[in-house]
């Protein structure tokens, strides 16, 4: 990286560089409104974090602090919002997020709204006001405005049974960069309330995978262990969620306690 935080080729968004090299990227979902937690995650080897403003107790002020905590590290800050509107996307982007993840991307109209929400006119409907994003990336306001539409990611989430019939239209949407398959909500929409191991849910995931992989949109998902992650990489996934901050913390504590108990 240069002293201005840029990557080779003049890119700010490291994920775009890694994907062009054909690599899978790894991240975690941050639900705890904690600068300290992000500082640890940013130096853990992850490629990105997804700051959860949809389900986590994270307000705009906390999101700003968490995004700023990634400065000086390779970690790319992304934010998950509650709806595909410019109103939900604008504050995280103006604070320095390089991508927005939108829920329930079930129809082409959802994907179009997502793509337009993260980009300035004429390509989109993002409003002006990036007061802090240029500071996060150490570039001028003018340069940020000139480059933002190319750097920022529009990310959809396919997580409803209805998407089995519509996912081809979703991934044919110009401007959509990545689609996550959301197994928990998908299972719930099928009547299994988060039980992703059900054969019907696994079959639905494979059908969604096949359609997304046949498109130009990158595929993302959730890997619950290393074996599953390696299998998903082999199938063509380019972004894998390796866990939630609270789950990784809980797992680490449980592992430490199990080691102590097994020795006594």
Find the catalytic residue in 55, 64, 88, 160.
55
**Euclidean distance between the first and final Cα of the chain, in Å?**
49
Q: Give the model's pLDDT for residue 3.
A: 37
* Class of the domain covering 8-262: alpha beta
Q: Is the pLDDT of residue 194 over 90?
A: no
Q: Return d(Cα 54, Cα 68) in angstroms, integer.
A: 19
Q: Which residue has the higher pLDDT, 194 or 47?
A: 47
Long-range contacts of 164-170 (CB under 8 A, 24+ apart): 164/204, 164/207, 164/208, 166/106, 166/107, 166/108, 167/208, 167/211, 167/212, 168/211, 168/215, 169/107, 169/108, 169/111, 170/105, 170/106, 170/107, 170/108, 170/110, 170/111
More confident residue, 263 or 123: 123
Does the active-site annotation cover 64? no
Q: Say if residues 19 and 9 touch (Cβ distance below 8 Å).
A: no
Confidence of residue 2 (pLDDT cuts 50, 70, 90): very low
3-state secondary structure of 200: helix
Average pLDDT in the 27-47 region? 97
The span from the CA of 144 to the CA of 130, in Å, is 8
pLDDT at 29 over 70: yes
Given this model, what pLDDT does residue 35 score? 98
Average pLDDT over residues 213-228: 97
pTM of the predicted model as reported, rounded to 2 decimal places: 0.94
| 220 pLDDT more than 70 | yes
- Please, are residues 25 and 54 in contact by the beta-carbon 8 Å criterion? no
For residue 26, what is the enclosing H or E element? strand 25-30
pLDDT at position 129 over 70: yes
Per-residue tokens: 227: 């074996």
Average pLDDT, the chain: 94
Query: How much is the average pLDDT of 243-261?
Result: 91
3-class SS letters over 53-67: CCCCCCCHHHHHHHH
Separation of alpha carbons 197 and 107, rounded Å: 25
Q: Is the pLDDT of residue 9 over 60?
A: no
Is the pLDDT score of 33 beyond 70?
yes
C-alpha distances in Å from residue 27, one per residue of 49, 78, 88, 101: 5, 10, 22, 13
At residue 259, the pLDDT reads 75
pLDDT band per the 50, 70, 90 thresholds, residue 116:
very high
């Amino acid at each position: 990286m240069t002293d201005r935080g840029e990557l080779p080729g003049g890119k700010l968004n490291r994920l775009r560089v890694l994907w062009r090299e054909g690599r899978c990227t790894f991240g975690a979902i941050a639900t705890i409104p904690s600068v300290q937690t992000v500082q640890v995650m940013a130096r853990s080897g992850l490629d990105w974090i997804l700051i959860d403003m949809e389900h986590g107790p994270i307000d705009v002020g906390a999101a700003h602090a968490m995004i700023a905590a990634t400065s000086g590290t390779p970690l790319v800050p992304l934010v998950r919002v509650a709806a595909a509107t410019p109103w939900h996307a604008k504050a995280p982007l103006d604070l320095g997020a390089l991508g927005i993840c939108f829920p329930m991307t079930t129809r082409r109209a959802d994907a179009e709204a997502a793509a337009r929400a993260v980009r300035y006119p004429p390509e989109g409907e993002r409003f002006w006001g990036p007061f802090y994003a240029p500071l996060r990336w150490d570039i001028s306001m003018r340069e940020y405005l000139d480059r933002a539409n190319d750097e920022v990611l529009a990310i959809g989430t396919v997580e409803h049974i209805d998407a089995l019939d519509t996912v081809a239209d979703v991934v044919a949407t110009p401007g959509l960069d990545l689609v996550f398959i959301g197994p928990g909500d998908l299972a719930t929409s099928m009547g299994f309330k988060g039980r992703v191991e059900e054969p019907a849910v696994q079959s639905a995931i494979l059908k969604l995978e096949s359609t997304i992989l046949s498109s130009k949109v990158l595929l993302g998902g959730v890997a619950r262990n290393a074996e599953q992650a390696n299998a998903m990489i082999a199938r063509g996934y380019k972004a894998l969620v390796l866990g939630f901050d609270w789950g990784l913390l809980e797992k680490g504590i449980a592992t430490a306690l199990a080691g102590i108990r097994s020795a006594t």
